[in-house]
Structures are given as C-alpha cells and as structure tokens.
Amino acid sequence: MEADAEIKKEILNMLDKYAECYLNKDIVGLMSLFVSDPDLVAFGTGIDEIVKGVDELKTGILRDFSQGDDIRLVFENLTISAAGKVAWLSGSMTMHAIVGGEGVILPGRVSMVLEEKDNGWLFTHLHYSVPAQGQSEGESWPE
C-alpha cells in the first residue's frame, strides 16, 4: 500500500542522508541509518557483495569508499509503500564515481526495506543490482 505523505517525506529524507554520507565517505553517519541487527541483509552489484549483519555491511561500505571517490547517488522513479512500522521502496539508483581516475556511471535498480524505531526510520534491507549485460529491451534472456 502506498505510504502517506509524511512517511514518504521521512523516507526521502533518509535517502538524502544516505547519499550525503556516501559522498562524504561518512561511515559513522551511514551506519547510523541502519538497524543494528544481525539479520540485516544487503546485496550489491559485485559477485561477492552479499552482506549479513552490521559488521559485514561496514566492511563492504568501507571497501566502496576505498575503491571510489566523489561517489554520488541519484534516486529516481521511486515507489514508496508502508504498513505499520515497515516501509519499502523500489526504483532506480545511479551511482556516479571516480574509480582509478576515471568517471564511472553505474545505472541500476534498488529496493530497500526500513523499520520504524523509537528514533525514526532505519534501513534493514538493501538490494542494488544492474540489468544483465547482453540482454536487449524486450528480451527475457541475455545472449
């Protein structure tokens, strides 16, 4: 069910904070946006980027920070839904970064789940993926 205007505003604010922390390589700020729960799960675009728990999440984010600079996240075409103390979103997220001195643009798809806690909304699940290479629009399978 579609989230009401207040929840949408709060979730969009969380995404702004998330992007700001990535740009500033603020690991403390970024980690404060996630639940401190061993069941937290995150998936990235790398074959080994399957994360469970806050320690693995922190390690993965620090790896992102060490391998890229000027990391800018752009969220678009978002759908934000909520029921009770749980909210979820899906849409597009494009990562712009400087990697090895070269500009990299990684357009992808994102889904996130948030849980409302006493101190506000926190991320509990993240999935970021890129479309399959070699698969054209209208095709169900890559060639």
pLDDT digits (tens, 9 = 90+) for 79-130: 999 999 999 999 999 999 999 999 999 999 999 999 999 989 999 999 999 9
> pLDDT digits over 14-66, tens only?
999 999 999 999 999 999 999 999 999 999 999 999 999 999 999 999 999 99
In a domain, residue 138? The reply is no
Total domain count, the chain = 1
In a domain, residue 72? The reply is yes
Longest dimension (CA), the chain: 49
- State pTM to two decimals: 0.92
pLDDT for the residue 13 = 97
Contact 94, 73 (CB under 8 A): yes
In a domain, residue 16? The reply is yes
In a domain, residue 134? The reply is no
Q: Can you spell out the DSSP letters for 69-119?
A: EEEEEEEEEEEEEEETTEEEEEEEEEEEEEETTEEEEEEEEEEEEEEEETT
CATH of the domain at 109: 3.10.450.50
pLDDT for the residue 135 = 79
In a domain, residue 139? The reply is no
Contact 13, 6 (CB under 8 A): no
pLDDT for the residue 128 = 96
In a domain, residue 141? The reply is no
Boundaries of domain holding 57 = 5-129
In a domain, residue 80? The reply is yes
In a domain, residue 140? The reply is no
